[in-house]
Structure 1
Amino acid sequence: MSSSPGIKPRENVDMLYISIETAIALASVLGNVLVVLVVCVNRALRNTTFSFIVSLAVADIAVGVLVIPLAIIISLGFNTQFYTCLFLSCLLLVITQSSILSLLAIAIDRYLRVKIPTKYSTIVTQGRAYVAVCLCWILSFLTGLVPMFGWNNLDAHRNISRSSKIVCEFTTVMRMDYMVYFNFFGWVVVPLSVMIALYAEIFRVIRKQLNRRAEATCDRDRYYQKELKLAKSLALVVFLFVVCWLPIHIMNCIDFFCPECHVPKFATYVGIFMSHVNSALNPLVYAFRIKRFRVTLIQITRRCMLCKSTEATPTCASTPGQTEKVDL
């Protein structure tokens, strides 16, 4: 995706690409910062599930702040050393991997919630959730930085020294067998297959419990209704991830298994856009599907835009007594 100086059509394509990517980055950062803010403001949302949702939001913020700018830089084909370009490319994989592992952690958490509801609170504690989040990120770095330890395209550039510069492109430094076998099949297909199986079992258990009308109690019925609604929302997040990320991985498979096949540049750009826009979609799912999240988001918006707190106050300026009341 390198640009050729002096060719205006290509410059126009680059400008359009940069403009769209910038808009996606802004939407992703703004939406996911609000997700983190909502969880911090609403104590009712500070549970184990939303710990993983915050981890996913942080990964999506990193997409807007780090991944998209790096993707733009790499797409322009600037000159740099091989390992510098390789490290920047690996960072893109680290953030993607953290999103997948956060989604997997959410699925496991919801599965335990409906499978062992009476023991859930003793097994899945907040401290263990924080440990799980840390493990997700550590594992993301370990898997994403594998090319830095040798599984890369340096063999194809034996004629260059460590100080020599190359045109930095993702496919120049990254081996397709790593992207297809290790990254896609190993760390995308397998976790997504586990997630699909977990959500299928979650829905089966909930439906089974809701169909037991004879021995159902009002509290238990309400509990499983709430779990069903939240499970549908989180399953939708997984579905959007699959829809947005599969195209670019399928193109990588085509490049690897069918080298003579030509993937149009436009299709590559669309695949990149879809993978990035996924980070901006998750906050919309939370806002439209999770009532507690939506109510808190509306309160934050009113407080910021209309300069009002959740309790009605006449003006923004207030006396120390009023401030204490609002904080309380």
Structure 2
Amino acid sequence: WFEPVNWTFQTNVSISSTYNFTDDSFLNTTMLLPFNKVIVIIHTIVFIVGFLGNTLAIYVMARYAKMNTATNIYVLNLAVADELYILGIPFIGTNSVLSYWPFGEAVCKISMTADAMSQFASTFSLTLMSIDRFLFVVYPVRSVKWRKPRLAKITSCIVWVVSFLIVLPVIIFSSVQEDFKTCNMSWPEPHDVWSAVFILYTSILSFFGPLIVVCLCYLFIVIKVRSARERAGLTRRRKSERKVTRMVVIIVLVFVLCWLPFYTTNIVNLIHIIPEHSMDIYFSVVILTYVNSCANPFLYAFLSKNFKESFQKVLCFQKANVARAAQVLQGRQNDTKVNHYPVFSYSICVQSFCIDYSCILGYCPQLTGCIGWLALDGPAC
């Protein structure tokens, strides 16, 4: 269901990695796609970009205090879930090349469980982000106590606990199957019934159920916004929050576009088995789910000013500030020579490497000459 840990299709139906076929001769055949090399290349690109992007997003949100809001904590939770999902790609790639699962029973269970938990955690995080926007727009005053960062952190932890409990069937029934040497779900009899129930169970809890909640949240938001249109112009804070709402809406829409084909295909496959000559459909919809995890960090950067500025600080992209910082630092050094103030050292990040300067005591508690840069405070600063 979770990721296609192999390209071999078997008699027991799981959500994405295995499907039911009536042709017995086909069951023992490893399905090699015509564009298998293309899939490997795409997976490699998605893994590198997704891993680096989500790692950067996690670092930025954990590093900067201004990112410590309820919404951003839910975004951080989503980035962690995306990172965990992306980490499954190397196992898929290895299995795809070897045409069997070489990592053993324990890694099989861990991989399947982590993959399943990350999918549920992603959906639940998006749902919480939507509820957070609903509370802010519809109940801006009463919701203050429910939108505190501390409560958001507790709720995010609960998301992972609930996700773990929901995927207990994966922990119990995932194994390396002897007949096909694949990591998959080994259902008890009757196989078809267990598989169908599992597909519906996960589809409702992981996608369609949360999607209904999200749609209701934004329906009430639209109603509230329309009723308030006749009021005076928006304050600066309200404009900022509206941008945050727009970011959340776009992230949710991209999630739906990337995951709806996946869940729809799995449900359709229960009613009408997709023929083997159309198996590229499965691989396309699964790759699309990984693209979603890869795209989210870029959405954060393009849709949120705070994220964009924080990304720039980490990557030291604001080169225009180098000259300004140097001038300020030179002025401080001259003051040191004239006034003989005690000197203490600090470092400033310039184009990804550190240069040691000096600062006069009391002149640089916040490194004011380094606006827009990642400043690494020394002992005195």
TM range, normalised to the smaller chain?
Answer: 0.7 to 0.9
Normalized per residue, the structure richer in strand is: 2
Alignment match of 2:91 (pick from 70, 76, 92)? 70
Is 1:89 paired with 2:103?
A: no
Q: How many residues align?
A: 309
Whole-Å separation in 1 of the counterparts to 2:64 and 2:37: 41
Alignment match of 1:266 (pick from 267, 277, 280)? 280
Is 1:276 paired with 2:314?
A: no
Higher relative contact order (CA 8 A, sep 6+): 1
How has the CA–CA distance of structure 1 residues 276 and 312 changed in structure 2, closer, same or farther, with 3 Å as cutoff? same
Give the root-mean-square deviation of aligned CA atoms. Answer: 3.4
Task: Answer whether contact 2:33 2:280 (CA < 8 A) is retained.
Answer: no
Normalising by the residue count of structure 1, what TM-score does the alignment of the two structures yield? 0.80
Whole-Å separation in 1 of the counterparts to 2:138 and 2:275: 47
Q: Deviations over 1:183-234 (max 9, x none)?
A: 002331000111111122123212322x133xx3x5x544433332221211
Q: How does 1:26-41 map to 2 (within 5 A)?
A: 26-41=48-63
State the identity as a percent.
21
How has the CA–CA distance of structure 1 residues 308 and 33 changed in structure 2, closer, same or farther, with 3 Å as cutoff? farther
Whole-Å separation in 2 of the counterparts to 1:312 and 1:269: 51
Whole-Å separation in 2 of the counterparts to 1:117 and 1:260: 49
Whole-Å separation in 1 of the counterparts to 2:322 and 2:185: 51
Q: Deviations over 1:283-325 (max 9, x none)?
A: 111111112221222232226x969779724863213538974
Shift of 1:271: 0.8
Shift of 1:171: 6.5
Q: Which runs of 5+ in 2 are unaligned?
A: 1-6, 10-25, 328-349, 368-374
> Letter of the aligned partner of 1:16 in structure 2?
V
How has the CA–CA distance of structure 1 residues 311 and 93 changed in structure 2, closer, same or farther, with 3 Å as cutoff? farther
Q: Which has the larger radius of gyration?
A: 2
Whole-Å separation in 2 of the counterparts to 1:212 and 1:235: 23
Q: Which residue of 2 aligns with 1:110?
A: 133
> Letter of the aligned partner of 1:47 in structure 2?
T
Whole-Å separation in 2 of the counterparts to 1:95 and 1:300: 26
Q: Secondary structure at the match of 1:319?
A: strand
Whole-Å separation in 2 of the counterparts to 1:64 and 1:297: 20
How has the CA–CA distance of structure 1 residues 292 and 100 changed in structure 2, closer, same or farther, with 3 Å as cutoff? same
Whole-Å separation in 1 of the counterparts to 2:320 and 2:100: 46
Task: Answer whether contact 1:302 1:308 (CA < 8 A) is retained.
Answer: no
Moved more, 253-262 or 234-243: 253-262
> Letter of the aligned partner of 2:356 in structure 1?
S
Alignment match of 2:78 (pick from 52, 56, 59)? 56
Alignment match of 2:325 (pick from 312, 315, 323)? 312
Task: Answer whether contact 1:31 1:283 (CA < 8 A) is retained.
Answer: yes
Q: Secondary structure at the match of 1:321?
A: strand
Q: Which residue of 2 aligns with 1:292?
A: 306
Moved more, 260-269 or 164-173: 164-173
Normalising by the residue count of structure 2, what TM-score does the alignment of the two structures yield? 0.70
How has the CA–CA distance of structure 1 residues 176 and 240 changed in structure 2, closer, same or farther, with 3 Å as cutoff? farther
Shift of 1:108: 1.1
Task: Answer whether contact 1:206 1:224 (CA < 8 A) is retained.
Answer: no
Task: Answer whether contact 1:104 1:191 (CA < 8 A) is retained.
Answer: yes
